[in-house]
Structure 1
């Protein structure tokens, strides 16, 4: 096998070395290693312990729904053309069709409401008001036992903008929680030991943040006495977010002297770039590999992963995902959209295989891990970007009480809200509640 340098050379660098000005051909040494070779990462034989976990994987722009929906329902359903990419795991997942968020407006705000079910325009006088996402409800329950209550991953860092979110996670006040898009930074955050100097710098940063939060709370208390009832309510929602931040900082402080799990980087292509179309398959793979390691070491039990932001994204060969979602019913564009859908499911298939191959007691990691996969919009038969009949899969979690290996087909016109499914996930994760957003019950047939 040809050995590639860890950092690719540039044409300019080589030409300067040769002292010439010629059109140099593309050499192997110039190819970024992240897409020059496939991943060699190997799943572990066993995890560090048996725990319930949840990961929510989001793909933007909907799917080719014509090739997604199975023609039959129930336990003995036939896989559709697209879902055949998951054939090896047919007994490990349930496909849910016909379901949607009644309060969602559709379009490219799907990521904003996928895990919240919120009506973003419900508050008079506000253009955008979100609510807590399902992952954060679960994180409140499980986060006390792990270094990180939850992780947010996306192909664009930060939070994005209202209606075009770069994150799937929202706290109790509906404030977006920033996502990480760098495999290197995420790995270091999870597994690279802090130096003593680094610990001191971190503690200093935490102290400064606490000081700022204290000042905000003091000023807010003074301001609160001068406000009307409605403004006081708005301020209280903001202060709840400040208090949550304060609690997160305190939790991080308590973990500062606890060693991080020892994890090797072998097989992990940490230099993969989400914005590089050629890196796309490897970037998705390495982020799923790091997610797997975070679960296997119990660094966290809750992850959200937005594979691409809405109105963006690539296929496995660099295809423009967003452009193809506006297919207008064009057969060739629909065909290409189906290719992207199957590429995405091939990466999910690999992740499910990693989880299933890792033993935990008498079962495996997949049995203890709920994997939600889907999109917050449906590009439909004509590319209309609807919030109805959302493409949705639920895999794993059979050790947590979920029933798999079936197609739950609901009437698109009289479907239960997607919040019913989210409530089923919350309960399977051990949270005692009988309501989430606009849910009417748990999802019939799933648990």
Structure 2
């Protein structure tokens, strides 16, 4: 005979709400950037406001962020002109790459915008950037588990476990652990030295095309050498001391009951990484493309293929509002933390959206992407408006990416297919 349902069973059946409390004050004044990605597009009819400018009316979906109205901008009509759309949206969201641009290659990606910012700020933080997602690793080409790609277009792996992420960021290592880590770094350096020597010998016997390929390969080796040097320089520096209080580190991304709590705790860890200056650049893929859940375990991917069905669109809008409610909570934590002459949100830029538009009929288009940008007002961003662009002219989302990396202090005049910074942002 089965036991009756008891209150004591509740934490295992339903995720308990978070008890994490944001810190009162930050003693920093650095620019930061986090890019939050939701897959499968949104119910675009309920998402895009009907009017534009500063006096626009919040759409039914964006009502979930009404308390932050003056702290974010809605962007519509932008897209990735060179993207093929579909379920490769996460692969190209921060790169704007044409994945089949190289003859003879099935997949070729390029540098993501976050890594431009990481290259500048990473010298001053333990981690140049963090990659978070609901599935660890890199995934497959065209169905990426990550938003971040290095200078050679190589995907950077994500972490999906709150417990592992917390230990990586904030749990001190023993002397034995540090010695073992230094040994691993030394072995990596030795292997890289051998590779460089062999490559030099080989290079003298190669033709022009092969030498170009070898240069790309050696560039990747040099980047790896720099990473090892960075890691060695931080090994004896103590990590920030952060208590586990209120952090539900056992939350699981693939458990439908845990889903709201898992998103919350990953954003809490992002907040802690920022406030301790452990990193200044984070990407967070909330779910991979062709996957995902709503707040009650709904099949997000299935609903994105709605075919214009009103019932499915309504359910998709519920998922969209759920996601924005979690984003709103994160913005609230940043806003409530005093920093300098403002709040932590004023120096933290939050890019949120998707790399596809599931459209009015369920098509997976790279045009008119659902996007919003929040925070960063002390960095020069202005908010409280709907910036509406002509969908048919398809202005590049790269203009947004260029704007953000410039606000991060990166001295660059262009990014990917950008035509300039985004007017009005």
Q: Distance in 1 between matches of 2:151 and 2:15?
A: 43
Structure 1: stretches of 5+ with no match in the other structure: 1-21
**Cross-structure match for 2:70:** 91
Cα offset, 1:222, TM superposition: 2.5
**Cross-structure match for 1:349:** 328
Cα offset, 1:276, TM superposition: 0.7
**Cross-structure match for 2:318:** 339
> Residue 403 and residue 213 in structure 1: after superposition, are their counterparts in 2 closer, same or farther (change >3 A)?
same
Counterpart contact for 1:98–1:415, Cα < 8 Å? yes
> For 1:372-407, what per-residue CA distance to the aligned partner results, in whole angstroms no more than 9, with x for missing partners?
000000000011100000000000001000111110
**Cross-structure match for 2:98:** 119
Q: Distance in 1 between matches of 2:88 and 2:407?
A: 27
Q: Which segment drifts farther, 26-35 or 93-102?
A: 26-35
The number of residues matched between the two structures is 425
Q: Distance in 2 between matches of 1:402 and 1:396?
A: 7
Counterpart contact for 2:170–2:239, Cα < 8 Å? yes
Residue 20 of structure 2 corresponds to residue 37 of structure 1: no
Spell out the pairing of 1:83-162 with structure 2 (5 A cutoff): 83-162=62-141
Counterpart contact for 1:34–1:269, Cα < 8 Å? no
Q: Over the residues paired in the alignment, what is the CA RMSD in angstroms?
A: 1.2
Q: Distance in 2 between matches of 1:331 and 1:224?
A: 61
Q: Distance in 2 between matches of 1:93 and 1:221?
A: 51
Give 1:397's match in structure 2, choosing from 376, 384, 389: 376
Counterpart contact for 1:277–1:314, Cα < 8 Å? yes
Give SS of 1:393's match: strand
**Cross-structure match for 2:167:** 188
**Cross-structure match for 2:424:** 445
Q: Distance in 2 between matches of 1:223 and 1:311?
A: 43
Counterpart contact for 2:15–2:260, Cα < 8 Å? no
Q: Distance in 2 between matches of 1:409 and 1:136?
A: 28
Counterpart contact for 1:58–1:305, Cα < 8 Å? yes
> For 1:246-282, what per-residue CA distance to the aligned partner results, in whole angstroms no more than 9, with x for missing partners?
1111101111111111100000000000111111000
**Cross-structure match for 1:374:** 353
Q: Distance in 2 between matches of 1:35 and 1:303?
A: 29
Counterpart contact for 2:15–2:257, Cα < 8 Å? no
TM superposition score normalised by structure 2: 0.98
> Residue 408 and residue 36 in structure 1: after superposition, are their counterparts in 2 closer, same or farther (change >3 A)?
closer
Give SS of 1:277's match: coil
Cα offset, 1:214, TM superposition: 1.9
Structure 2: stretches of 5+ with no match in the other structure: none
TM superposition score normalised by structure 1: 0.93
Counterpart contact for 1:48–1:298, Cα < 8 Å? no
**Cross-structure match for 1:50:** 29
> Residue 28 and residue 226 in structure 1: after superposition, are their counterparts in 2 closer, same or farther (change >3 A)?
farther
**Cross-structure match for 2:308:** 329
**Cross-structure match for 1:15:** none
Spell out the pairing of 1:427-446 with structure 2 (5 A cutoff): 427-446=406-425
Residue 288 of structure 2 corresponds to residue 309 of structure 1: yes
> Residue 217 and residue 25 in structure 1: after superposition, are their counterparts in 2 closer, same or farther (change >3 A)?
farther
